[in-house]
Amino acid sequence: MKRLWSVTGGAAAGRHGGLRKVVPLPPEREGRERERHGVDGQEASGGGICRLEFEETRRNGEQGRRGEGTKRWISSPAATELEKIVMDWVGEMLQLPKEFLFSGNGGGVLQGTTCEAIFCTLISARDQTLSRIGRENMKKLVVYGSKQTHRALQKAARLIAGIHPYNFRAIETSKSTSFGLSPDSLRSSICANIEAGLGPLLLCATVGTTSTTAIDPLGSLSEVANTYGVWVHIDAAYAGCACICPEFRHFMDGVEAANSFNLNAHKWFLTTFDCYCLWVKDLGALIKSLSTTPEFLRNKATDSREVMNYKDWQITLSRRFRALKLWFVLRSNGVANLRDFLRSHIKMAKLFEGLVEVDKRFEIVATRYWFASRCCHQQWERKLTQMEKLMTVIVIT
Amino acid sequence: MKRLWSVTGGAAAGRHGGLRKVVPLPPEREGRERERHGVDGQEASGGGICRLEFEETRRNGEQGRRGEGTKRWISSPAATELEKIVMDWVGEMLQLPKEFLFSGNGGGVLQGTTCEAIFCTLISARDQTLSRIGRENMKKLVVYGSKQTHRALQKAARLIAGIHPYNFRAIETSKSTSFGLSPDSLRSSICANIEAGLGPLLLCATVGTTSTTAIDPLGSLSEVANTYGVWVHIDAAYAGCACICPEFRHFMDGVEAANSFNLNAHKWFLTTFDCYCLWVKDLGALIKSLSTTPEFLRNKATDSREVMNYKDWQITLSRRFRALKLWFVLRSNGVANLRDFLRSHIKMAKLFEGLVEVDKRFEIVATRYWFASRCCHQQWERKLTQMEKLMTVIVIT
């Protein structure tokens, strides 16, 4: 406690950006100094947050409420600030462009799952486009992905966000492009739709698909999408984690032209379910679509616009304090150890691939990427079931 | 472990409905016998679930995956079955009509928050109506609530589900009806909308509003709504918990005419955030709107339609195993103790109201309901702030 208060001047740590001063070092430099991090974590997350909460809520004339979580800054100022710090940290580890970080003009949020986050970006894109072309044109909006894109996009678009079921395009991919979405196919689809009087809305490109760990060419896809004013969301749910290793960072090349980006810390970052990281460049579009401020949630801090409320970044109003577990993972391991952990999995996958390669019962279907999933097709001698006919995906992690 | 397996014949407990036989007693009879319940809980939730999962997944030729949670029955059969049992238990405690329970034709699901669950029912109602009147009429759909209804409805309708922003009706309430929504006002609004060529879609009635704990007259509102084919959702997030006490059950009278009902176990049931209970009568409508089954999630158990997958009951695909914490609360306390706990809070609220009544600085604004919230308006001598002008809501729980 002592250190926290001496560094920050007491309750000031809870103010907008104040907590950042408590741990000014980026996680990159932390390495294996576990003991010290443990103390930091305890200070900032335990007594610190409780006391900051009390001080800040008292200052703003607001009584604390149970179950408020990190819904509003005023309910838990230090928890909100910690989430912002953690999101900037992971963003920096990924070398995300500055525009996606709080230290730039964007920012990140921890949500539950891919569905939830894709849904939020889809709504932002939808409302941004409708404000330009008029709400009566909603039935004309088209969403693009590949046959490999996670089904979460289809669920968000077709079933939930009110996009017409016929306006979801799952573009074919092939082995020739290692199952990545071809920019030419995207351009053809967009042009055909515009000609038919439809309105291209959003493209979801993927780094590491569920079925084959395929990687879409982000740069050239974004170029096509940007030409037609299409929002680009990059879903790097699983494989994005590996991109904190410099040797794999190039799989994210092209992210600078996208509007939003995600990865799942609960997939490959030693973090428990659920912990999903979403970054957006245009905070205004997200918050405009998702914010509501009924009278009982108003307070001086928010009205002054000095702080932000994470309730305006997601579907639900209430939310859990997910930043804490990710904070502990980052602080107790350090980036160096996390990288070693990822590399050890990828090494195992390479070993596995070698064993499969020499076994004639299997065929390697997609080998290009050194992630921990390897796709191989077993050449069964007996009659194949429907599932076996498709592909046997062996996931080590 | 011994008891679990001897009663159910081993892995059969994981099959559809099998786990129910392990604990055939309804929670009503459990009382304070904590020790025995502890053993049950440990058996069913710990070793039992792991072993059942292994047995069932092996039988269905499916490898278990980390992070699957209770997404699919096949990933965690006993966890899915436990959620079904717990939802039927709470439904029985509330004396919900049989049509809302698995033992009838309906069923319940544990979700995160009010927003999420209202959103799911709204989508079900939306798709059910659009399949009748055509998707091109989406912009005509109207959603009804009162000025007291939780802002989650507005967020779900206006911001997310694609309902036109002008088509959200927050009908005025007054002190004369203790801030409950008047059926006459609802009828007038619906008739005016129909005359204007719009399509009434959903009414959200509330048992215990956030601002004043007002209770809408469920029976007469449902009667009006049913006349015009409007889906009735009842949001009893906070006050619904008290309805497990026979003396408060009458506040839910009329629920039999509704389509869906919810309460928040994390509000007043000694359960940690998040744990939101939603029951629906028409499972078909919910699942039709929310299900997706990509190839990698297919399996024999689901294809045979013998089992259900909770991923088809909510926005997201992945989900946490929330039933366990609610199971422990129910088993370790028993209904009798939960009722005593709720009554003790309500007794405190009555005591508080008595103290406020004799203090001339305060005015009691809404006193009709014996829930643990009391609304009073402080007569300030100094200049009032905007928030103080409205109302001071003092929440004991």
**Consecutive 10-residue runs of chain A (397 residues): their mean pLDDT?**
33 52 54 46 49 48 46 75 90 95 90 86 91 86 93 79 85 90 97 96 93 91 96 94 94 96 92 91 87 61 68 84 87 88 89 84 68 57 40 36
- Residue B317 and residue A119: Cβ atoms within 8 Å? no
Predicted pLDDT of residue B60: 45
Query: Which pLDDT score, from 0 to 100, does residue A304 have?
Result: 55
Residue B387: CB atoms within 10 A of its CB come to 16
pLDDT at B352 over 80: yes
Of residues B13 and A41, more confidence is placed in A41
The DSSP bridge partners found for residue A362 are A378
pLDDT tens digits for B280-310?
998 888 888 888 765 555 566 655 556 788 8
Selected for mutation to probe chain A from B116, B126, B318 (highest A CB count within 10 Å) is B318
pTM of the predicted model as reported, rounded to 2 decimal places: 0.81
Residue of B nearest to A70 (CA): B273
Q: Rounded to a whole number, what is the distance in Å from the CA of B116 to chain A's nearest CA?
A: 6
Identify which of A162, A290, A299 has the shortest CB distance to residue B161. A162
**CA B85 – CA B89 distance, rounded (Å):** 6
For residue A251, which phi and psi values (nearest 5 degrees)?
Answer: -65, -20
pLDDT at B56: 47
Q: How far apart are CA B128 and CA B282, in angstroms?
A: 11
The domain made up of A94-307 has a fold known as Aspartate Aminotransferase; domain 2 (3.40.640)
Q: How far is B39 from chain A (nearest CA, A)?
A: 27
Determine phi and psi for B296, rounding to 5 degrees: -70, -10
Give the model's confidence band at B62: pLDDT under 50 very low, under 70 low, under 90 confident, else very high.
Answer: very low
**Residue B265 C-alpha from the chain's centroid:** 8
**pLDDT (0 to 100) of residue B5:** 30
Chain B CA closest to residue A121? B160
3-state secondary structure of A101: coil
**Which of A14-23, B192-201, B324-333, B375-384 holds the top average pLDDT?**
B192-201
pLDDT surpasses 90 at B254? yes
Contact B135 A164 (CB under 8 A): yes
User: How high is the pLDDT of residue B327?
Assistant: 87
> Are the beta carbons of A160 and B123 separated by less than 8 Å?
yes
Please state whether B67 falls in left (phi above 0), alpha (psi between -120 and 50) or beta: left
CB contacts of A138 in chain B (<8 Å) are: 138-139, 162
Q: How far apart are CA A165 and CA A176, in angstroms?
A: 29
Query: Between B319 and A296, whose confidence is greater?
Result: B319
Partner residue opposite B317 with nearest CB, options A113, A126, A296: A113
Q: What is the ipTM of this complex?
A: 0.75
- Which of A304-313, B207-216, B331-340 is the least confident region? A304-313
| Per-residue pLDDT reduced to its tens digit, B19-54 | 666 554 555 555 444 444 444 545 444 444 544 444
How far is B258 from B253, CA to CA, in rounded Å?
10
Q: Where residue B104 falls among pLDDT bands split at 50, 70, 90? A: confident
> End-to-end alpha-carbon separation of chain A, Å?
38
What is residue B300's DSSP assignment? H
Q: What DSSP designation does A125 have?
A: H
Closest partner CB to B155 (pick from A119, A151, A292): A292
Q: Which neighbouring-strand residues pair with B279?
A: B108, B261
| Partner-chain contact B320 A273, CB within 8 Å | yes
Q: Where are the domains of chain B?
A: 2-86+329-335, 90-294, 336-395
Q: Which residue has the higher pLDDT, B293 or B378?
A: B293
Mean pLDDT of chain B: 77
For residue A161, the chain B residues in CB contact (below 8 A) are: 160-162
Residue B373 pLDDT:
58
Mean pLDDT of B253-265: 95
Average pLDDT rounded to a whole number, residues B166-178: 90
Contact (CB<8Å) B266/A290:
no
High-pLDDT (> 70) share of chain B, %: 69
Task: Tell me the shortest Cα–Cα distance from B291 to chain A, in angstroms.
Answer: 8
Give the CATH number of domain B90-294.
Answer: 3.40.640.10
Chain A partners of B67 at a C-beta cutoff of 8 Å? Answer: 266-267, 273
Distance from CA of B357 to the nearest CA of A (A): 22
- Cα B7 from Cα B252, distance rounded (Å): 37
pLDDT at residue B151 in the model = 83
Q: Does A318 sit within 8 Å of B292, measured CB to CB? A: no
- pLDDT of B111 above 60: yes
**Mean local confidence (pLDDT), B244-272:** 93
* Yes or no, beta carbons of B151 and A294 under 8 Å apart: yes
Nearest CA in chain A to B136: A139
Phi and psi torsions of B4, nearest 5°: -55, -45
Beta-carbon pairs below 8 A across chains A and B: 131
What pLDDT does A34 receive? 45
Buried b (16+ CB within 10 A) or exposed e, B17-54: ebbbebbeeebeebeeeeeebeebbebbbeebbebbbe
Q: Give CA B22 to chain center in angstroms.
A: 26
User: For the residues of B231-267, what is the DSSP string, one character each?
Assistant: EEEEE-TTGGGGGGSGGGGGGGTTGGG-SEEEEEHHH
